[in-house]
Amino acid sequence: MVVGLGLSLSLIAAATLSPAANGIAGSCLRSMVAPVDPRDLIGRSDRVLNTWLFVPLGFFAGFLAVRRVWVLVLAFCVPLFVEGIQRYAQVLGRRCQFQDLVDNTWGLILGALVGVVVGLVAQRTGSVRRS
């Protein structure tokens, strides 16, 4: 699980904090739209990719949150951290977007729901084996 968390965070950092070619740094874009509709999660848009990028982190954090809730709380800070770096590290040539924050959080929620369910089932199965 720890390796999964590390790989998820590494993938997120590589995709969101690498310098953009001909990027535009500046203030945050504040237009807000609803999270991606679950029926549209098969597409290839930036919004769908922003959502899927955070699903693994949500899954591993949700799985671990069955015993360590603080892991899930920290996972939900990652989108804020990423957008903050994009806002203030102008050398990256990236612009923070409120919509990315919404999509990233939606991905975390989807992954965390699955992770918590799998974690509870694994915990229950493990406790049955011990008795």
Structure tokens at 20: 């953009």
**pLDDT tens, position by position, 37-68:** 777 777 777 888 889 999 999 999 999 999 99
Domains in the chain: boundaries: 2-13+41-130
Per-residue confidence (pLDDT) for residue 130, from 0 to 100: 43
Please report, rounded to a whole number, the percentage of residues in the chain having pLDDT higher than 70.
Answer: 92
Per-residue confidence (pLDDT) for residue 28, from 0 to 100: 78
Residue 128 pLDDT > 60, yes or no?
no
In angstroms, rounded to a whole number, what is the distance separating the alpha carbons of residues 95 and 85? Answer: 9
End-to-end CA distance of the chain: 25
